[in-house]
Amino acid sequence: MKTIHINTIRPYDVHIGAGLMDQLADLLPPKVTKAGLRGAKAVLITDENVDSLYGERVSEKLETLGFQVMKAVVPAGETAKSGEAYLKLLSFMADRHVSRSDMIFALGGGVVGDLAGFLAATFLRGIDFVQLPTTLLAAVDSSVGGKTAINLPEGKNLVGAFYQPVGVIMDVRLLDTLSREIFIDGCAEVIKYGMIWDRALFDKLERHVLPDKRQDEELMTEIIARCVEIKEEVVSQDEREKGLRALLNFGHTIGHAVEKNSGFSISHGKAVAIGMIMATKAAEQAGICEKGVGQTLERILTAYGLPVTTDFPGRALGEAMLADKKIDGAKIHLILPKKIGECYIHDMKTAEMETFLLGAEGTDGDYAK
Ligand code: GLY
C-alpha cells in the first residue's frame, strides 16, 4: 500500500493498494471512524453500475463501523451531474435530516465523486466527505485535489467548488470489474501526467501498456501513486488554480469541446486524448514543442486504444472552446508541451486560438491529423 499526504488547506491522506476496501476501519481518518462510533448518518452516493457490484459490501462495512447508511443511487453517466439530479439529492438529505456531523461517501468514478463532492461542499454550507474511487480516472485525478462540480446545459463543470475530501481510499482491486473502455479512459489522464511532469513515468507507460497489465496490482498501485504524487505537488502549490494547477488541464480545453459536441457520447478520457494530440501538434507546428513529440504521443495513445483524431468541424469545436471556463476575458490559458515531461501555460488571445489549434480558420474536417 502507498499513502500520499495531500498538503492542502484541509490536508488528508490518499491510500492506494489492493484489498483496501476490507481495511476501511484502519484507513479512514479518525474523525470518520469516531462519527461511526456515535452512530452518525453516512450518505452513500453511488451509481447503478457500481451499486450492483460494491454497494452492499461498502454499506455493510460502514454499518459495521456504526454508521446509519442512507444510500442514494444515481444513473450511471454524465447525466447524473445535472442540476436536477443535484437538487434531488439535496432534498434526499434534507428529508432524512442529515446534519453537519454526518458525512457523505462517494463510491464511484468521476461523475459520482464530482457530484457527491459538490453536495458535500454546499449542503448546510459544507459537510465532510470521503472519496472511494472505483475507476482509474477517479483514482488518478478527480478524487484528489478538491475540484467538485455539476454541469450546465451550457458546458461541463460550470458550477462547482474547491472542497477537499477528508480522506481517499483507492482499492486497486476494484479496477478488475471495469470494462476495457472505462479503464482506457483513465489511462488518458495517466499519460497526461507523464506529458506534463514526468518523462520517466511516460517511458514506463510506454514499456508497460496498462490495458494489458491491469491485473498487476503492484504496477497499478505504483502508477496510480505516482500520478497522485504529481497531483499533490501541483495542487499543494496552487489549490485554487491561480496558475500552476492549470497544467493539469492539458488536453482538456479541446477535450471538453469534443465531449460537448458529441453530446457526451465521447468519454472524457478519449476526448482528452484528442485534445492532447491536437495541442501537441499545434505546439510542434508553431516551433514551441520539440519535433517528434506529437508522433510519440500518438504512438502511445494508439497503443492504449485511445483516439487521436476527431471528425467534428473546427467551427463547432472552436465555439464550444469559447464557452470553456478557462477563458479569461479576451485570453485563454492553453497548456502546451515543450517536450515530454514539460508543459507550460501559454496565454493566447481567444481570437487566435481557433487558428492556432484547428488550422486555417473556417476550414472544416479532421483537425487532429
Ligand atoms: N482535473 C484537474 C484538476 O484537478 O485540477
Query: Is 31 marked active-site?
Result: no
Residues at CB less than 6 angstroms from ligand 1: 141, 145, 147, 245, 248-249
φ, ψ of residue 169 in degrees (nearest 5): -125, 115
The catalytic position among 61, 71, 81, 147 is 147
Distances (CA, A) of 180 to 143, 238, 252: 20, 33, 22
What is the CA(166)–ligand 1 centre distance, in A? 17
pLDDT, tens only, 37-92: 999 999 999 999 999 999 999 999 999 999 999 999 999 998 999 999 999 999 99
Catalytic residue among 241, 284, 298, 354: 241
DSSP helix/strand/coil, 151? strand
Q: What is residue 140's DSSP assignment?
A: I
pLDDT at position 325 is 65
pTM (predicted TM-score):
0.94
Residue 268 appears among annotated catalytic residues: yes
DSSP string for 251-262: THHHHHHHHHHT
Distance (Å, whole) CA 70 – CA 94: 12
State the distance from the centre of ligand 1 to the C-alpha of 70, rounded, in angstroms.
29
Distance CA 203, CA 215 (A): 20
Reading the chain (369 residues) residue by residue, the pLDDT tens digits are 999 999 999 999 999 999 999 999 999 999 999 999 999 999 999 999 999 999 999 999 999 999 999 999 999 998 999 999 999 999 999 999 999 999 999 999 999 999 999 999 999 999 999 999 999 999 999 999 999 999 998 878 899 999 999 999 999 999 999 999 999 999 999 999 999 999 999 999 999 999 999 999 999 999 999 999 999 999 999 999 999 999 999 999 889 889 888 888 899 999 999 999 999 999 999 999 999 999 999 999 999 999 999 888 777 888 888 777 667 777 888 999 999 999 999 998 888 887 888 764 444 444 443
141, 164, 343, best to mutate for ligand 1 pocket (most atoms within 8 Å of CB): 141
pLDDT computed for residue 361 by the predictor: 41
Whether 245 is a known active-site residue: answer yes
The answer to whether residue 231 is catalytic is yes
Q: Is 214 a catalytic residue?
A: no
Q: Which of 81, 256, 260, 281 is catalytic?
A: 256
Beta bridge mates, 17: 171
Q: Active site includes 208?
A: no
Which residue, 162, 188, 214, is CA-closest to 308? 188
Q: For 110, phi and psi rounded to 5 degrees? A: -60, -40
Q: What angle do CA 53, 56, 58 make, to 5 degrees?
A: 95
Cα of 240 vs centre of ligand 1, distance in Å, is 10
Task: Record the cell numbers describing residue 139, joined without a space.
Answer: 483514482
Give whole-number Cα distances, 232 to 183, 228, 281, in Å: 22, 6, 28
User: Residue 179 belongs to what H/E stretch?
Assistant: none
Name the E strands within the chain: 2-6, 12-17, 41-47, 68-74, 103-108, 128-133, 147-152, 155-162, 167-171, 327-328, 331-339, 342-349
